[in-house]
Every structure is written in C-alpha cells, then in structure tokens.
C-alpha cells in the first residue's frame, strides 16, 4: 500500500459531546492519516436512535472544526445507509448465510452465556426476530499495528453474531464493516474498547469477500482502572473555545511531543510533521492522574 492510498476515519456516535477520550481517538487517527499523506474521513455512527442525544451530531462536527480536525469530503451519516444494510441482509438471508433468531439474552445466559446456533438449525426456519450471520470464518486473531498479536477467546470468535437486532435496528458489526468497505478504509485507528470486536469484523469482511483494513488500537483514556472515559459516565466535554490545552494534553497522552504555539492550524501541522507511531504507549488503557479537558 502506497502512502497516498491511505484512507483513515473517525467514527463517533452522537450520544453526547466529544470528551477527552474521543479527542485522543480523533487526533490519533488524524495524525496517522496525515503523516502518511492520506485521507481522513468522518462518519457519524447514528444507527442507535435510543442512545442518541439531540443536536450531538452537529456539536461533534463543530467541535472537530474548532480543533482544526478538518475531514476530507463530506461526513457520512449511517442513517443514510439503511438501504445498503438491508440489501446485504436480504442477500445473506436468501443464500442461507444468515438466519432469524428468537433466543433472548436470558436463554443464552442459561445455556452458559454463549450462543450455540440453536435457531440456525430449526426447520422450518424462523421468519422473524433478530438476524444472525452464520459465522463460517471464525477469526480469532489478527495483528494490530500498535498492540501486536491479538488473540480472542474461541467461544467469542466462533459465535454466530447479530447483524440486525430484534427491535429492527441494524447491528454495529454489520454497519461498520459495510461502511468501511464502502468508504475504502485502509486502516482503522480507534480505542482498545473495540479490540476484540475487530475479530468479528474481520470474519464479516472475509465472508463478504471484502479486504479487511489494517488495525491500530490506541490506549483507552480511563478515569480509573477498567473504567474508560465515556459519555455514559458523564465525561466532561472538551473546551471548544480554547482547544490548544486539550490538543497538547492529547498529544502527551499519545506519547507525542507537545507544541508550544497558539495557532491550532500550526499546532496540527507541527504535530503531523513530528508524529511517531513508535512512541505511542502500547497499552490497552491509561489512567489519567489529572483531568484533561
């Protein structure tokens, strides 16, 4: 892959404003893409309306602009892609590569906590419920550009996972794979909370005869061990008026040199020039000792 063919992305969900953890993921993916003279895209992952906060999508895009994190092209919204998701599901159902499932979480938990493919063996086949992929690929390992060799539990890797929920909403695993393929993403840079999910996504890429991207999982920003900063636990929004301090804090978190200038554009230009992947801590999480926002 030549450096000019690199395509990266930042894909936040509109469940609240960007916080410091979001910023490290955005900045890390931005610096990686620009240091390789590639494209950096933004995708709003708005496929879960019950979790979305009104106005959050616009707020996220305004915040990225204020931080000088300008994306190539037009931001993609997942709600614009519903027909593409449904078309793929219809194809998978028609070819018997996916099936309806009516097993509840309680039933799965009572069976040891691992889904055993029960509904996929039923005759006649179910015609309603959630939809699961027949997971033929069962990918349980991959190489991460920062974390190295990643191996997940076999039971997780082998499970037939959902691609559409019983409430009619499209599942994240399906949407993210179809969108990464559609946008030509060559490397996914994101937090380690999605490290294991990469195996399911690689499995789905494989079954759809699509080329998986490379993977680069950054350490999670944690308020305490095992507890990442998130919108759900009320992480404070980053400062949209004076972004310089937050940018430097994010650079330091990512093991990069801080930049002592006032212009956001100059800060980012210098940060791109001195970006060094090898200095990012190869850790799954880092606990903050001070509040960075």
Cα dihedral 74/78/82/88 (nearest 10): 100
Tell whether residue 9 is among the known ligand binding residues.
yes
The span from the CA of 229 to the CA of 235, in Å, is 6
The span from the CA of 2 to the CA of 217, in Å, is 21
The β-bridge partners of 217 are 190
Tell whether residue 11 is among the known ligand binding residues.
yes
The span from the CA of 136 to the CA of 195, in Å, is 20
Tell whether residue 103 is among the known ligand binding residues.
yes
Tell whether residue 231 is among the known ligand binding residues.
yes
> Which pair of structure tokens corresponds to residue 132?
């699961």
Tell whether residue 132 is among the known ligand binding residues.
no
Tell whether residue 172 is among the known ligand binding residues.
yes
Tell whether residue 56 is among the known ligand binding residues.
no
C-alpha distances in angstroms, 285 versus 50, 144, 185, 221, 226? Answer: 28, 15, 25, 6, 8
Sign of CA dihedral 263, 264, 270, 271: positive
Tell whether residue 12 is among the known ligand binding residues.
yes
- Please provide the size of the chain in residues: 293
Tell whether residue 190 is among the known ligand binding residues.
yes
Using alpha carbons only, give the angle 109, 113, 115 rounded to the nearest 5 degrees: 100
Tell whether residue 45 is among the known ligand binding residues.
yes
Is the distance from CB of 124 to CB of 163 less than 8 angstroms?
no
Please report, in range form, the residues annotated as the binding site for ATP. 231
Please report, in range form, the residues annotated as the binding site for L-glutamate. 9-13, 45, 172, 190
Please report, in range form, the residues annotated as the binding site for Zn(2+). 101, 103, 115, 119
Please report, in range form, the residues annotated as the binding site. 9-13, 45, 101, 103, 115, 119, 172, 190, 231
């Amino acid at each position: 892959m030549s450096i000019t063919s690199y395509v990266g992305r930042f894909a936040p969900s509109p469940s609240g404003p960007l916080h410091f953890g979001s910023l490290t993921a955005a900045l890390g993916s931005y610096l990686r893409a620009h240091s390789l003279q590639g494209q950096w895209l933004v995708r709003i992952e708005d496929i879960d309306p019950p979790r979305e906060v009104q106005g959050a999508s616009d707020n996220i895009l305004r915040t990225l602009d204020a931080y000088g994190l300008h994306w190539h092209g037009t931001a993609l919204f997942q709600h614009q892609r519903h027909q593409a998701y449904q078309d793929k599901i219809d194809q998978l159902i028609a070819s018997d590569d996916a099936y309806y499932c009516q097993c509840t979480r309680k039933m799965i938990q009572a069976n040891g906590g691992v889904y055993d493919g029960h509904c996929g063996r039923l005759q006649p086949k179910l015609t309603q419920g959630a939809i699961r992929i027949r997971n033929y690929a069962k990918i349980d390992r991959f190489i991460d550009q920062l974390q190295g060799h990643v191996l997940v539990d076999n039971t997780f890797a082998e499970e037939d996972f959902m691609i559409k929920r019983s409430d009619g909403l499209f599942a994240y695993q399906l949407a993210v794979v179809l969108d990464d393929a559609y946008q030509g993403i060559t490397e996914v840079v994101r937090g380690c909370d999605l490290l294991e999910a990469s195996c399911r996504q690689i499995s789905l890429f494989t079954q759809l005869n699509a080329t998986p991207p490379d993977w680069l999982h950054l350490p999670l920003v944690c308020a305490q061990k095992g507890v990442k900063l998130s919108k759900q636990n009320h992480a404070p929004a980053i400062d949209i008026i004076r972004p310089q301090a937050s940018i430097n804090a994010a650079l330091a978190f990512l093991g990069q040199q801080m930049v002592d200038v006032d212009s956001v554009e100059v800060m980012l230009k210098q940060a791109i020039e001195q970006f060094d992947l090898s200095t990012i801590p190869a850790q799954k999480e880092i606990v903050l000792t001070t509040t960075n926002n």
